[in-house]
Amino acid sequence: YNGFWWSPEREMLQAAIDHSQRWVTGEVTLKLYKGQAYLTGRSSPYSLYSEKIVTFEDDHGAYDQKDAEGFIKLNALRLRLLAGRDRKFGKN
C-alpha cells in the first residue's frame, strides 16, 4: 500500500517542508527523568534568537508593541470572514 506517497500532493507538501527546514540544524540537550524529557539547552548556528531583543523592553528599538496592531487587525478580519462562512455553510 503506497497511499498517496507518489502523488503530486505529497510532492508539493514535501517541497514545502524541505524549504521550511533548510535552516533547521543544531544541538538539543535533554534531561530524562522518570519518563519525562526536559529541555535543558539548544543551539544552532542559524538561530534567530537574540538576547538583546528577547525581553521586548530594552531591545534598542527593535520592536514596538504598536507594530503588531495592523497584523492583528488583518488576521482578525480573515478569521471573522472564515467564521461567517462556517456559520453559513457549516464547517468543512
pLDDT by residue (tens digit) across 29-88?
A: 999 999 999 999 999 999 988 877 776 677 677 777 888 899 999 999 999 999 999 999
Give the burial string for 39-48 (b: 16+ CB within 10 Å, else e).
eeeeeeeeee
Stated pTM of the model? 0.51
* 29 belongs to a structural domain: yes
- Domain around 76: 25-89
How many structural domains compose the chain?
A: 1
* 72 belongs to a structural domain: yes
* 50 belongs to a structural domain: yes
* 44 belongs to a structural domain: yes
* 2 belongs to a structural domain: no
* 18 belongs to a structural domain: no
User: Which residue type does 62 have?
Assistant: A
